[in-house]
Amino acid sequence: KTFERMKEESKHSDNHAMAFRADDPDYLLVGTDGGLYESFDLAENWRFMANLPVTQFYKMAVDDAEPFYNIYGGTQDNATQGGPSRTDNVHGIQNSDWGIILDWDGHQPATEPGNPDIVYAQRQQGYLTRVDRTTGEIIDIQPQAGPGEGPERYNWDAPILVSPHQATRLYFASHRVWRSDDRGDSWQAISGDLTRNQERLTLPIMGQTQSWDNPWDISAMSTYNTITSLAESPLVEGLIYAGTDDGLIQVIEPDTEATNGNNWRTIEVGSLPGVPDGAFVNDIKADLFDADTVYVALDHHKFGEFGPHLLRSRDRGRQWTSMRGNLPDRTLVWRLVQDHARPELFFAATEFGIYFTIDAGSHWTQLQGGVPTIAFRDLAIQRRENDLVGASFGRSFYVLDDYSPLREVSKQQLEQEATLFAPRDAWWYFPRPHLAFEPGRGDQGADHFVAPNPPFGAVLTYHLKDDIATREAVRQEQEKAALEAEKAVAFPGWEAVEQERREPAPSIWLIVRDAEDRIVRRIPGPTDAGFHRVAWDLRYPTPNAVELVEPPPPEWGEPPRGLMVAPGSYQIALAVQTDGKTRMLSEPRRFEVKPLRGGAPNRGATNRGALAGASPEEVAAFWRQYEVAVREHTAMQVTVARLMTRIERMAGVIEHSRVDLLTIDPRFHELRSSILELDGRFNGLRSKSEPGEKAPPTVGDRLFAVSRGVGLSTYGPTASHRKILEIATTEMAALRDELERHERGFSELVRELIAAGAPWLEGEPLP
C-alpha cells in the first residue's frame, strides 16, 4: 500500500535480485548489474562483495605499455575499465590495480600503437571519447551530423578501428563510416548510409507488425540499421570492410574511395553459404598475410537461429566459403582473431568458450585449462607477448599467456613421443611486497580479490604423446583390457612382480643449462600424456644439506631455496628417466633471462633503481659465494647435531661394555663436555637461546644477516655484506677444523669400546 525509497549510497542502482533473513529484519542481500551487496542496517549502508569476478565485458583492447601491457574493456552497465595484465608485486593483480576510465555502459575501446597513454573509450550508442592516461582527462570526439543532415544512428556497441597504417588515424561508424587523421579532433564521412535505412517501427515484432498504441520502449535500446563492424586491410591502405546489424557487408577499395559513398560495394549476407537473410555481422577481419582475404562472423539469434556462421572470402568479398569446420551446432561465434606469425592459426570467441584451429578452420579445438564455457564476446592478441586475452560476458577477463607453442602444433608433432616448445624470455627481478611479503591476500581476508600473475620466471611448455608408465601400470592396463575382453589374466611371475616393486617411479626432467653449458637446475615435470607447463623460478637449487630424515616444513616462510641466476642466455632440454635410465627427448631450446629494470630496452625495462648498485653479474657472483657458505654451514649443522645425538647414545655403549669405568668415564665426560662446548660456539648457548636472551652472533646469525641483506634485492652486496660473509667464512673454517678433530676423537673412543666387546654404534664402520 505504501512504499518509500531506500538509500543506495555507494551501491549500484540496477537491482535484479533480493534475499532476506527471517531472523534479521535489517538484513538485505541484493544482486545488481554491479555485483552483490549486503546491508545489515536496512539499506543505510552497503557492503560490496569485491571478490566475485563476474563482470560482463562486451569488447576489449590491449595496449603495448612496457614492461606489462594493459587490458581495457567495455562492460554492461559498469563503465569502461582498465588495468594491468601483470604486476611486479608478490600478490598478483588486485582490484586496486584496476580503474574506471569512462562512465555509463562501456563498449568497444581502442588503443594507439606506440603510445599507451592514449585510449579511446565509448559509452553506449556511440558516445566516443579520447582518454589521456597521463592526466585522466576525457574529451568527447563523437562525429556529429552536419547542417541539414538527419541524426546519426549508432549501434549500442559502435565499432572503432585504429588504422594499421597510421596510428593517429581512426575509423568510426554510425550508419556511415567516419575517418579522422588527428585522433578524432576532426572527422570526415567516407561513406553514405551503408545500411538498409528502414523505419524500424514498421518491422514485425513477435511475428507481426504492432499498433502504435502498443507499448514502445526504444530510448535505452540500440538503434537499428547501424554499422557493427569495421576492418582495414593491414596490407592495402584504404581497403575497408563494414558490416551492419541488418545483414549487409560493404567494401570499398582504395582506388574507388569517394566521400559520397557511391563507390562502396554491397554484399547481402543472405547470399553467403548457409547464412540467413538479415543476419547480424558480429565481426569482420582482414587477413594479415593476404590482401584479398577477409573473414566474417555472423549470428541470427535474435530471430531464434543459433548456428555458428564463420566464413572466408579470398577475393575481397565476392565469393565465400564456410570455415565453420567442426564447431558445434547452436554455438554463436562472436569474434575471430588471426595469429600474426602463423596464417592458419585462428581463435574464435563463441557463446560457449574459446576455440582454436591450426588449419584455418577445418578443425576446431576448444581451449581448456580453466576457461569457462560461457560467452566470450571478444578476443585480442597482444603481439609482443603472444598473449591471447578473452573478454567473457559474466566471468571477466581470461589471459592465455604465451600461446606461441600452438604455432608448432601439427598432426605430425602430436604423433612424436615428446615435444619441447621454445620458451618466452624471462624477466629477472624481485616481486615487490604490498600487503605482505608472501603471495596471496596478506591479512586482508578471503573477500580481498587477487588474480594471479603469470608464473614467475621461465615458463616451459612440453607435450607427451603417451603416459610415462611403470611396468606395474603397463601390466595393469593390459590386464584391464583382457578382463574387458573376457580373457583370463595370468600371474606374471615372482621375478616380474619383484621388478615392479624395485622399479623407481618414472620422471620427466627439464634440464636448464647456462651459456657455458653447465647444468643450473633440474626441474621435475608431470609424466602423463598431454600438454604441460612448468615454471623455473630462475633460481639455483637449494644449497642446504639433505638430512636422512626429512625435516618438517617450516612454520613460517618457504622451504630453503637457492638464489637467482645472473641475466643472460640459457637453454632448456627435456629428458625422461625410466627404470634408472635417462635419455633426452628433445634438442635444447634457448631463451634469455632479462633484467626487468635496466638492461632490456627492447622489452621496455624500466630504470633499475634509485641507486646504481653492482652489475647483475657481480650480484649473482656474490649470491654464489653465499650459497657455498650455506652449503658448508648446513652440512656442519647436521654433523654437529648428529655428533650431539651420538655422544648421548654413547652412554648406552658404555653401559653395555666391559671396560674399566675408572678409565673410560673421565675420557667420555671430557669428550662430551668438549662437544657440548663446540655446539655452544656453533649454535649459541642453549640456556640463553631458550628464553630468547641475546648472545654473541654465531656463523648462522651472520649468514642470516647476509640473506636478509641480499635475498630480496638486485642492488648487490654492500661493503657490510661482504665483510659479514668474510667473517662467517673465517669463523666457519676454524669451527670445521675443531669439528673434524672431535669426530676423530669420538670414533677412536667408540672403536676402543667395540674392540673391548661393547655393542656397535650406528654411524661407525661395521665391526
Question: In the block, which residue shows the cell 607427451?
Answer: 464
pTM surpassing 0.75? yes
Instruction: List Cβ neighbours of 600 (8 Å cut-off, separation of 6 or more).
Output: 594
| Sign, CA torsion 409/412/418/420 | negative
Question: In the block, which residue shows the cell 677444523?
Answer: 737
Cα separation of 581 and 568, whole Å? 31
483's enclosing H/E stretch is helix 471-484
Cα separation of 732 and 225, whole Å? 83
Q: Which among 201, 646, 585 is positioned nearest to 416, based on CA atoms?
A: 585
Q: Which among 342, 339, 306 is positioned nearest to 324, based on CA atoms?
A: 306
- Report the pLDDT value the prediction gives residue 600, as an integer from 0 to 100: 43
Q: Encode pLDDT of 7-43 as tens digits.
A: 999 999 999 999 999 999 999 999 999 999 999 999 9
- Report the pLDDT value the prediction gives residue 384, as an integer from 0 to 100: 98
Q: How confident is the model at residue 767 (pLDDT cuts 50, 70, 90)?
A: confident
Question: ∠440-443-448 over CA atoms, to 5°?
Answer: 65
DSSP 576-605: EEETTEEEE-S--EEEEEEESBSS-GGGT-
pLDDT higher than 60, residue 559:
yes
Q: Encode pLDDT of 570-617 as tens digits.
A: 999 999 999 999 999 999 999 999 999 875 444 445 567 899 899 999
Contact criterion met (CB below 8 Å) for 232 and 165: yes
User: What does pLDDT average to over the chain?
Assistant: 95
% of the chain residues with pLDDT over 70: 98
Q: Encode pLDDT of 341-352 as tens digits.
A: 999 999 999 999
